[in-house]
Structure 1
């Protein structure tokens, strides 16, 4: 495996991202970066980003949740942010991503965690939680899902998948802006481009669309169906916090509320914003997390 590593200088002076870097090897020679803020003995809150972002997406939420006394951990998936980036697209399999995240979770020995996930953070996070139920106390999903390949894929997704695989132009910051209702500043857009000095660094971002199961025969679809069987028995708190303006995941929150026992009676929320609600409603999203943890402390 040939591994690319983004020069740390590209991350200097990013707006609203003062966090010290932390690294954990998830296999020999392959480092995963993560933000860790708040008291070491606080209740752990894992914030998982998706496509094509990195922990910078949670920059406004991390300080709020940490200030409430919680231990916030926001990893960069392999291929994103300050984490290492295998050069070959074939290295970015669904199973590899799960293995890398599991190694990180085990190395830090995280227990009693609240999972906060969105986009591909949900495709990975929901599998991670159902595979390690003893390490998670609750799940909060924002604009995310766990597809099994059993429903018809939209034409829009087919175009997006082909674009990611074949287009010589892959503008990460423009994609983030398309999924955000507010106008990002030039410096914020540059921060989303910072991990990728050249196109060869974008293998992780290009690979994700092709990893989504689109037919019943997909191997990852079978694994996701098994995860759904576990979710349909999940009785720990499961909260949805979706946005009002996301055409990608619209209605999925109600499906999860019906199917997952732990979602019954929870304070589900709909916040204003687009697909990246961490950009459009960060304070409100952070408040959902803090309020959920208050209920646990009171209990």
Structure 2
């Protein structure tokens, strides 16, 4: 299936009373005004038009900008992003519930950051879907909406066009993921560099993992860094195990506990990510890109690339090459 670049230029960022300021700041940075060096390198400049939207109940305390538009702006939004709130046990504004439901049925792409999932759930948008939210509030979401499958261990989840993320920093991962879906890996990478954000993390990776909080496993950070430096080599679990001075069994266990997925799956994901960049930013042939990414053959690259992106390398290049 070919990648189809969709016009998702109009973004409505929904803020409610008691919203989390960082849940608003990150989407504003990714979909709001871009720095000059990003717009200068992209034909047409910033592809998004972001508007803050708030129900009447969201008065300007403590951080709500006074220029926020009313809920009627949801009627024309291509993408609706609901920022999280500090206390999701508070009932969602009834007018907002109706506005979100109408936007969803009209075909808007629906997104939540952190506890913003409670507003989408209240509108019935998450019924029958798998979602995530901040781990602290996952059980409450599960209890209030039993028809929703809550996967609190994951950074972000996409289920049939509806996107939900965990806490604030996972919201950054999701926003970069949406940017990559819309405009390619190179644009997302440029924005990540501007945000001084870690490299892209898959939604299936465990919450908090790459930031290595106290009690984390810094040895795994060294392992992942080494893998990224040697992606073009024929890596195997045994080779990585020897480098890390661990048995394969120990490496498997510790890697999954820290990174949230298997070693070789993570290697494949990183190889495809590198292939995306090379397809977008170089004129190298598929055979050479396969070699530089460690796939060994163009056919192997095509198989893994298609599995992750639902398109072929050539179709991806036609869509996103600059």
Greater RCO (Cα-Cα under 8 Å, separation 6 or more) = 1
Indicate the structure (1 or 2) with the bigger Cα radius of gyration.
Answer: 2
Structure with greater proportional helix content: 2
Q: Tell me the TM-score range normalised by the shorter chain.
A: 0.3 to 0.5
Q: Which structure has greater strand proportion?
A: 1
Instruction: Compute the TM-score of the two structures, normalised by the length of structure 2.
Output: 0.33
